[in-house]
């Protein structure tokens, strides 16, 4: 009997593979980075072929650590979402760069559509907003800027996919072209209520139906790996975009439960049940990863720059040597002395949705120190999360009881405590923080009977630490008012 479920976690800056045993414990891990390119201001690209190669390398290393591919019962995939790849069906070769979710090159196209009065139609049909964040306008850009691409796409010669589609296509040696519902719901092309490609959105954005993958549930066998590719035939039985996978991995299976993932960006999701919930505060309605027989939904707030601001402090400004150094620097000062950082490097996401905003530092004096700037950067992550949480609370009409957190930045105790303080609600850090990969494994394992049901999965989730708010209400209000003032300047 196979002993493990393999999760492939393809993120924005690295590809990792993790093998989980029947107690949902990580038994083998491999991870490899890959580069992003920034050819113009606001543009972000990656090499799709490199994404596949580093993901395959990580998966092969984990399989070897576990005694071979035969030890894998199933494969689950989670991925950076809106990143857009178009490839040649015959050769499997990309026809252009992978356009990353952060890329703002289609800002003008989105503005033109909004000015033409299409914004309400887009939100009603897709649950999203008109923003270059999503895949639809990225696809159109590739078709219009790669020679002969539009003609070939209309003739069925080219295929589109988000990164999950791309990995499945490669793993199955071109036999399977699919996208799961969670990733499809981020394209601006799927009707949120029907779960099918929306002909009106395809027409509006100029995307040929012939290039689209088949939409499949997040939990269920949707392909089998090719023995020619990895030497074994293993069911691919779970797929979810990274944030929906994290919601599932955090055992947020019921309406009202909320998680926040701290990665390159920051993403808060609230489970809303079996019906989509329309936000009145510019949050996104999206499909949630669901157990077999269910079709759940979530409200989502997206922050474009979270952990990336710490990378910027380290790599571009050299204010810290490692990301972990940010905690000691922040704790070395009592506060920021009025310094605020708004890290709008690629615009501001929810609830502002302003692609033209750019990052700023405010409140600087001659006495401002390195530590205060570092602290302001960390605090900006927490402030942006409060923006999202306030929108969620307004939409649902009640205050959150707690927020579950995951991702690399949750290791920073200063940030987690400040997050609880500025929210005024407990922040709960699980014992196992890589819940994105765990969610993909859960989906694949449920589909194949490796695990029985979500009740069993809930027993695997446990708390590492609960951060309780301790900041006085007046102090919390003053600090947040300063943040809102800084945001107005960035806008």
Distance CA 145, CA 150 (A): 9
Determine the Cα–Cα distance for residues 39 and 244; give it in Å rounded to an integer: 30
Enter the tokens of residue 274: 């079996």
Q: Which contiguous run of DSSP H or E holds residue 245?
A: helix 242-249
- Tokens at 19, concatenated: 């093998």
Q: Is pLDDT above 80 for 281?
A: yes
Strands 219-224 and 340-342: unpaired
Read off the DSSP letter of residue 261: E
Q: Residue 347 above 80 pLDDT?
A: yes
Average pLDDT of the chain?
93
d(C-alpha 408, C-alpha 332), whole Å: 22
Q: Is the pLDDT of residue 1 over 70?
A: no
pLDDT confidence of residue 183: 96
β-strand partners of 238: 76, 219
Q: Are 168 and 176 in contact (CB under 8 A)?
A: yes
List pLDDT tens digits, range 64-88: 999 999 999 999 999 999 999 999 9
431-452 pLDDT, tens digit per residue, is 988 899 999 999 999 999 999 9
Q: Which DSSP letter does residue 15 get?
A: E
The share of the chain scoring above pLDDT 90, in percent, equals 81
3-state secondary structure of 299: strand
Q: Which of 214, 12, 181, 223 is nearest to 103 (CA)?
A: 12
The alpha carbon of residue 219 and the mean position of all alpha carbons in its chain are separated, in whole angstroms, by 18
Which residues are within 8 A (CB) of 57 and not within 5 positions of it... i.e. 6 or more apart? Answer: 15, 30, 32
Residue 373 to residue 336: CA distance in whole angstroms = 7
Give the DSSP letter of residue 462: -
Instruction: Assess whether pLDDT exceeds 80 at residue 371.
Output: yes
pLDDT tens across 406-427, in order? 988 899 999 999 999 999 999 9
Distance CA(123)–CA(278), nearest Å, equals: 9
Residue 293's pLDDT band, with cuts at 50, 70 and 90, is confident
Judge contact between 229 and 167, C-beta under 8 A.
no
Residues 22-32 have pLDDT tens digits of 999 999 999 99
User: pLDDT at position 140, please?
Assistant: 97
pLDDT tens track for 107-141: 999 999 999 999 999 999 999 989 898 999 999 99
DSSP 408: G
Among 174, 177, 163, 115, CA closest to 135: 163
Q: What is the pLDDT of residues 217-269, one digit of tens each?
A: 999 999 999 999 999 999 999 999 999 999 999 998 888 889 999 988 888 99
């Amino acid at each position: 009997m196979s002993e493990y479920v393999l999760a492939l976690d393809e993120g924005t800056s690295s590809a990792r593979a993790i093998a989980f045993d029947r107690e949902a414990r990580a038994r083998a891990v491999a991870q490899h980075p890959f580069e992003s390119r920034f050819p113009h201001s606001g543009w972000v690209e990656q090499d799709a072929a490199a994404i596949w190669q580093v993901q395959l390398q990580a998966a092969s290393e984990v399989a070897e650590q576990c005694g071979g591919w035969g030890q894998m019962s199933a494969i689950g995939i989670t991925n950076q979402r809106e990143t857009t790849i178009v490839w040649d069906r015959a050769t499997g070769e990309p026809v252009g760069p992978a356009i990353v979710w952060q890329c703002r090159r289609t800002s003008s196209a989105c503005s033109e559509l909004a000015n033409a009065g299409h914004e309400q139609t887009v939100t009603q049909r897709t649950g999203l907003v008109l923003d270059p964040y999503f895949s639809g306008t990225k696809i159109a850009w590739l078709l219009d800027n790669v020679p002969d691409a539009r003609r070939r796409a209309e003739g069925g010669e080219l295929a589109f996919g988000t990164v999950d589609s791309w990995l499945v296509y490669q793993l199955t040696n071109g036999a399977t072209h699919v996208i799961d519902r969670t990733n499809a719901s981020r394209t601006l092309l799927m009707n949120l209520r029907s779960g099918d490609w929306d002909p009106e959105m395809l027409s509006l954005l100029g995307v040929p139906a012939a290039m689209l993958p088949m939409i499949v549930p997040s939990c269920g066998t949707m392909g089998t790996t090719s023995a020619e590719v990895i030497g074994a035939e293993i069911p691919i039985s779970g797929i979810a975009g990274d944030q929906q996978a994290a919601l599932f991995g955090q055992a947020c299976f019921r309406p009202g439960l909320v998680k926040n993932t701290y990665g390159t960006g920051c993403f808060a999701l609230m489970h809303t049940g079996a019906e989509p919930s329309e936000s009145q505060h510019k949050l996104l309605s999206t499909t949630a990863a669901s157990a077999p027989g269910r079709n759940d939904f979530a409200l989502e707030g997206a922050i474009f720059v979270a952990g990336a601001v710490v990378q910027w402090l380290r790599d571009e400004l050299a204010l810290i040597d490692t990301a972990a150094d940010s905690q000691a620097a922040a704790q070395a000062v009592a506060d920021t002395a009025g310094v605020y950082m708004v890290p709008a490097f690629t615009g501001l996401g929810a609830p502002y949705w302003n692609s033209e905003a750019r990052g700023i530092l405010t409140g600087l004096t001659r006495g401002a120190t390195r530590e205060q700037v570092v602290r302001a950067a960390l605090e900006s992550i927490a402030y942006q999360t409060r923006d999202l949480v306030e929108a969620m609370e307004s939409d649902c009409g009640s205050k959150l009881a707690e927020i579950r957190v995951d991702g690399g930045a949750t290791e920073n105790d200063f940030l987690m405590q400040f997050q609880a303080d500025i929210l005024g609600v407990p922040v709960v850090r699980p014992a196992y923080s890589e819940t994105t990969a765990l969610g993909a494994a859960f989906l694949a394992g449920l589909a194949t009977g490796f695990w029985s049901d979500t009740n069993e999965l809930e027993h695997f989730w446990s708390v590492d630490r609960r951060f309780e708010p301790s900041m006085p209400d007046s102090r919390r209000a003053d600090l947040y008012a300063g943040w809102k003032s800084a945001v107005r300047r960035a806008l």
